[in-house]
Structure 1
């Protein structure tokens, strides 16, 4: 007997609101009562970030009163929105509702990025942003991106990724060093000492190798950090290959993403 189905829907909605989106889907499949309650705005309002309306207000996302909270939730999971004049993209992790941000290539600090001989900027139909960075030729590869910790979900472990593609005939991208640091808490030199070696050009099971994303781009893990109360200032992710001064080219950068682990 479905005892939960005997409880008032409001009571079941309140119960579900203290779980997670993943648990709500599981419970709604096991009980008719939970299935009905799982559509409630009470439930999905709890799963949305408390400041989601403020975030949406900085984008071109059209928020309608006819949209249920569940529709808004899954829209933000499946269709990232651009905020801050296209400098950032925002989405939600479908399983947890935690915030995900990608910093556009234009907002990264890229050595020689404004020198056309070394880097070119162009549109890409597969990119979230209006421009991507195309590496033509450098020996000194160094790029970094940062985000304010207050923008991210609290008490959450995050991973920073470089999101990129490789052009045909790419070269010199076998290895690079990557790290993540809180800018106000650790120097560049200290962070470099614990940098991990990553590969942009080789795919495989190793965690330090690039992996293909569902959107068709590639990503490489640059490092992780724990965002406690969002009061640690800026966190920076950096990828560089400045020791082996060999020619490098064929890298297409969309941005750096900060995503819950």
Structure 2
């Protein structure tokens, strides 16, 4: 006997809300009754951040209201919206509903090697970027740092976050494969900090020669390397932090001693703050986002 068929829809929705968005997508395949319960507004409201209405009201890029909370969730998981006079973009980590933000390049600080603020005025408009402007820096600046901050009250509480520099490096000699050779990053929050060293894949193993002309290699598997994103950009992890409850001020991500080779140009889209994906590649998540296409 199907005992679940006797349960009210609200009760089924309440049970499903104790799981996750990928699980909710899988529940909709059980029966029509479960499908109705797993697509209810009451259920998807619980998957959305509690301050979602306030965030949307501050965005100049949202003009069409969503009738269903599930549609809102799907939209924010695929397409970021702009906030804070277009200096910030907001989207959802689609397997958890946790909040993600990117501070755009024009809102970052670019600091030269002698601690002066670089007069960054070189903005260009390009495709495949969520912002109107992005910063372009060349070798004329020598070594420099990049600093980005976000208010800790904006991010999801009790969540492990990572911050990433989103960038591209173009070169006159190797335009398709250029990336940052080595960077050092620090993420500071609530009197704690994490330090990250990132190098390109070609430098991941260091070799030296001994007196007998033999080569020895030392590999660093835990050192971060820049990775390609699905939007045509590269990213490198700056640091990690845990967002506990309460207000502990700003989260600061600092990238140190960036240097470019002659003929290279660095394009910066921004610094992104997003939670760790604890679900990975679950099948329910694939169904959640494929059924709407």
TM-score interval w.r.t. the shorter chain?
0.7 to 0.9
Range with bigger deviation, 154-163 or 137-146: 137-146
In the TM superposition, what is the alpha-carbon distance from 1:123 to its structure 2 partner? 1.1
Q: Equivalent of 1:176, from 183, 198, 203?
A: 183
In the TM superposition, what is the alpha-carbon distance from 1:246 to its structure 2 partner? 7.0
Q: Conserved in 1, the CA contact under 8 Å of 2:171 and 2:264?
A: no
In structure 2, the CA distance between the partners of 1:206 and 1:31, relative to structure 1 (3 Å rule), is farther
* Structure 2 residue 131 is the aligned partner of structure 1 residue 125: no
Give the Cα separation in 1 of the matches to 2:24 and 2:260: 52
Aligned residues: 250
Q: Equivalent of 1:209, from 218, 225, 230?
A: 225
**Cross-structure match for 1:16:** 16
Q: Conserved in 2, the CA contact under 8 Å of 1:162 and 1:255?
A: yes
Give the Cα separation in 1 of the matches to 2:179 and 2:236: 16
* Structure 2 residue 267 is the aligned partner of structure 1 residue 252: yes
Q: 3-state SS of the aligned residue for 2:128? A: coil
In the TM superposition, what is the alpha-carbon distance from 1:22 to its structure 2 partner? 1.6
In the TM superposition, what is the alpha-carbon distance from 1:201 to its structure 2 partner? 7.5
Alignment deviations for residues 91-137 of structure 1 (CA, whole Å, 9 cap, x no partner): 01110000000000011111256536xx7211111111111111111
Q: 3-state SS of the aligned residue for 2:153? A: helix
Range with bigger deviation, 25-34 or 233-242: 25-34
Q: Conserved in 2, the CA contact under 8 Å of 1:160 and 1:257?
A: yes
In structure 2, the CA distance between the partners of 1:213 and 1:154, relative to structure 1 (3 Å rule), is same
Q: Conserved in 2, the CA contact under 8 Å of 1:222 and 1:238?
A: yes
C-alpha RMSD of matched pairs (Å): 2.6
In the TM superposition, what is the alpha-carbon distance from 1:30 to its structure 2 partner? 3.5
Q: Conserved in 1, the CA contact under 8 Å of 2:138 and 2:264?
A: yes
Gaps of 5+ in 2: 205-220, 277-293
In the TM superposition, what is the alpha-carbon distance from 1:167 to its structure 2 partner? 1.4
* Structure 2 residue 96 is the aligned partner of structure 1 residue 89: no
Give the Cα separation in 2 of the matches to 1:172 and 1:155: 33
Q: Conserved in 1, the CA contact under 8 Å of 2:165 and 2:235?
A: yes
In structure 2, the CA distance between the partners of 1:12 and 1:175, relative to structure 1 (3 Å rule), is same
Give the Cα separation in 2 of the matches to 1:230 and 1:160: 20
Q: Conserved in 1, the CA contact under 8 Å of 2:123 and 2:133?
A: yes
In the TM superposition, what is the alpha-carbon distance from 1:28 to its structure 2 partner? 2.2
* Structure 2 residue 108 is the aligned partner of structure 1 residue 105: no
Alignment deviations for residues 132-157 of structure 1 (CA, whole Å, 9 cap, x no partner): 11111122220010101100000001
Q: Conserved in 1, the CA contact under 8 Å of 2:77 and 2:91?
A: yes
In structure 2, the CA distance between the partners of 1:10 and 1:88, relative to structure 1 (3 Å rule), is same
**Cross-structure match for 2:63:** 62
In the TM superposition, what is the alpha-carbon distance from 1:159 to its structure 2 partner? 0.4
In the TM superposition, what is the alpha-carbon distance from 1:27 to its structure 2 partner? 2.2
Alignment deviations for residues 9-63 of structure 1 (CA, whole Å, 9 cap, x no partner): 1211121222221221122234443222111001001111111111011112124
Give the Cα separation in 2 of the matches to 1:206 and 1:185: 24
Q: Equivalent of 2:253, from 212, 215, 237?
A: 237
**Cross-structure match for 1:115:** 119
